[in-house]
Structure 1
C-alpha cells in the first residue's frame, strides 16, 4: 500500500483528492493536514466522507508527514516550496498541485506570482506532470509539478497540431471558460454564485498567471517560442473547463480527425469524439477524462479544437493521482475508473 498524505485538505482540490484516494485499492490516506481545523475530524467538515475517512486533521508539520510515501500539496501557491526539500530528503515523493514548480525560469515565476521562490534549486528537477506528454519522466520522478486546469485543457487540445507542425505557431488563440470552483474555496465576492450566476465574463485579459505555463509547454512541443493569446472567462457553473482553441493551418487537405485519433489512441484519459461532435463539460464532470472535438469550419485554413475537462479532476486532483500511479508503478487508471456524472 502507498501511504499518502495531503497538505491542505480543506480546499476543493484537497477534498477531491480524498474522494478519489479513499477508494483507491492500493492507497492508504494516512495524514490530512489543515492549520485552521487541526484536531477536527475530516468527516465532520466533509460528511460526504463519513464511513470512508476517520482521520483527524493534523497541523501541516514535517513530523506528521515523514512517514508517508507520497505527499500531495493541495495548497495555495508558495506553500509546497517551503516543505518540498525536507520531504524529499526523507525519501518522501512530492506531488504539488499548486504552481510552485511549474515554470522553469524562477524570475518568470516570481514576476507572475509576486513572491520570491524559496526553492529555486528544485525547479529543474521537478517533472511537469502531464502524462500524455511526460509519462516516462513521471515514472522516474520524485517531485511532480501538476499542471494547472487551464494549461491542461489548452495543451492537450493543441498538442497533436504542434507535434505534426501543421499550424502557424505565431497566432494561436485559446478562448477558455471555467466554472467558479476554479477560484478555490475561499470567501471572495467575485466567485459567489449570486455574483457569478446569470452572468458571463472574461477576466485577466491583460495576462493570466497560467499564460507562461501554457506557453512554456507549447514551446517545448513546437521546438520554438509560440505566439499565444489566452483569454479566460468565468461561467456560472461549479465544475468544468471548456477551451475553444484556434490556429491557422499551414496547408489544407490533411485529415485532422485522423491526426487526433492517432495521437490519443493509447491515452486512457483523452477521448477524441467522432467527427462533427461538440465537446460538452457535463460529459466529463467528476471524471478524469479530457474530451476533444476537432473542426475545420467550411473547409478553410482555420482549425478549431474544443477541449473539455473537469477542472478539479483532470485539471487537478485526478491528474495528480494519475501521476502518483505512474510514480509507484501502479496501473495508470487505478482509482480513476469513474464514469462522468450525468446530468
Structure 2
C-alpha cells in the first residue's frame, strides 16, 4: 500500500480551527494508529504554510523562511503510512507554490498525495471574513466589502478572498495533476448542526476512526456581532495615525479586545447578508455545485450545504453597518476594561503599555495646543 499524505488546504472560516485543534490534542493517539500529524513544537502549521505561499503577511515572510522545507524533512523521516497536514493558508498558494508542495510531498511518486478542502456557503463565509477583516486593521464597511466581492473578483482588495474561497479555482489549482478521487471536498453543514458532523466527514475522508480522537476541542472562531465589528472598524480608523506597531496591534486589538473580549460578549447580533444579495449568492452556489459534479471529485457531505439559507419570510434584516449607539458604547466599555486589566497584569507602571499610552497622549495634546 502506497504511503498517503492528506493536505487539508482550507478554506478559512470553514471549521478549520476546530479540526486542527482536535487533531493536535489527539496527535499521540493518532500516531499510535498510523496517522502522523507532524506539527513538531508548534500548535499548528501556520509557519510552514506561510513560508510555502510566500506572502509578506505583516512583515513575517523572513521569519518563517525555511519552515516548509523543515516540515517536508519531518514528513520524510517518519514511517507512518498516513500523514495529515492542515492549514487554511495553503488555499491561497500560487500555481508555482502548489507545484513545489506537490513535488516535495509526492517524493517522485512514492507517496500518494490527496487534497482536502472544506467549503461553506458564500453567505456565511462573507459575513465571517468581513468580521475577521475588522480584527486586522481594516476599516471597510460591510456594504462596501460585499460590493467588492460581488463586482471586483480580480481586484487587489478581493483577490485573496476569491483565491481561498473560490471553490473551482482552489481545487483546480491544487488538484490539477491528481485523479478526481484524490481531491476531496467536505461541505460544512448549515448552522445548527453539531460540530461532530463536520468532524465525522473529515474523519471519513482521511481514514480516521472516531475512537482514535477521544479528546474534543472547545476552540471555535467565535463571531463578532454588529456592534462589536463597528467598534473595531471605528477603532482602526482612529488608530491609523497613532503609529501602533503590527505586533502591538495583534496583541492589544486582535487578541485582547477582539478574540478574548468582544467575541464572547452576550447578546451579539449576528451579521448577515441583505436579502438583495441572495440571488447573487445562489448563483455562486450553483456554479460551485456544478463544477464539483462535473469534476467528479470525492464529496463528503451534501452539496446542498453550499446553498445559502435565505432568511425566513417576515424576518427584518438588520444592517451590520448601523448598530445602536448604546450597543457600540457598551462594547467599547468592555474593550476598555479588557485593555486596562491587561496593562495592569502584564506591565509595571512605566512598562511598555504605559509608555505607549503616554506617547499617544502627548501627540494628542500637541495637536490640540
TM over 0.5: no
Higher strand share: 1
Q: Which has the higher contact order (CA 8 A, sep 6+)?
A: 2
Give the alignment's TM-score, normalised by structure 1.
0.33
Give the alignment's TM-score, normalised by structure 2.
0.31
Higher helix share: 2
